[in-house]
């Protein structure tokens, strides 16, 4: 009889190994072998669980997206749920310690670069973009017109992505991530009616 939870544990180990390999080698140089060696498993198990490297890479990106979503939910549950709180939680979720980590930063950068060329990754990136804008639009719409909320959401999403990207590529990422988060919050709050 199979041991309950072993399959999920192995899948997570492979996802973690894929993230580590992508962070170290980049998406192009990451192979089934580099992933399986990091996970301490046979390369055939990747095909068994994910159908191949591409399936595992997409699962790893979904893992990052899920982690981002869970972070937002954890933060929003500790607030009054107001528009201001929602916006601040969205920004904070994008700048958590994990999202700032070298592993996450390098992996996100690799995914973004490859998403222009791989339909599966492009679809996941579009989902991420839509989710960010939708969550921001919902929060802004509590205190402004639909059109104003749409514009505010696009501007704030661009600020979040822009500051995150600039920070990830900077000489001193930690300092830049902290400054970027602060500037995004100040900008977002300036758009809300006083």
Tell me the pLDDT tens digit for each residue of 129-156. Answer: 999 999 999 999 999 999 999 999 999 9
The yes-or-no verdict on residue 1 having pLDDT over 50 is no
Q: Is the dihedral of CA 114, 17, 98, 60 positive or negative?
A: positive
How many helices and strands (H and E) does the chain possess? 10, 0
Q: According to the model, what pLDDT value does residue 2 have? A: 53
pTM over 0.85: yes
> How is the chain split into domains, by residue range?
58-191
How far is Cα of residue 186 from the mean position of the Cα atoms in its chain?
22
Among candidate residues 88, 101, 107, 96, the one with its CA nearest the CA of residue 156: 88
Q: Which fold has domain 58-191?
A: Tetracycline Repressor; domain 2 (1.10.357)
Tell me the pLDDT tens digit for each residue of 28-77. Answer: 899 999 999 999 999 899 999 999 999 999 999 999 999 999 999 999 99
Tell me the pLDDT tens digit for each residue of 162-185. Answer: 999 999 999 999 899 999 999 999
């Amino acid at each position: 009889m199979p041991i309950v939870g072993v399959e999920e544990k192995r899948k997570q180990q492979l996802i973690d190994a894929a993230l580590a390999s992508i962070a170290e080698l980049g998406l192009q140089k990451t192979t089934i072998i580099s992933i399986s060696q990091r996970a301490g498993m046979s390369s055939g198990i990747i095909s068994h669980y994910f159908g191949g490297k591409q399936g595992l890479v997409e699962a790893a990106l979904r893992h990052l997206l899920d982690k981002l979503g869970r972070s937002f939910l954890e933060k929003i549950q500790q607030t009054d749920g107001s528009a201001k709180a929602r916006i601040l939680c969205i920004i904070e979720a994008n700048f958590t310690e994990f999202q700032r980590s070298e592993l996450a930063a390098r992996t996100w950068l690799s995914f973004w670069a490859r998403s222009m060329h791989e339909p599966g990754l492009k679809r996941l990136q579009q989902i991420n973009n839509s989710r960010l804008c939708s969550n921001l639009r919902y929060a802004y719409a509590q205190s402004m017109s639909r059109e104003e909320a749409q514009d505010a959401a696009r501007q704030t999403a661009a600020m979040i992505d822009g500051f995150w990207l600039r920070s990830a590529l900077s000489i001193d990422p930690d300092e830049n991530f902290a400054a970027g988060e602060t500037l995004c919050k100040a900008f977002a709050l300036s758009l809300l009616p006083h």
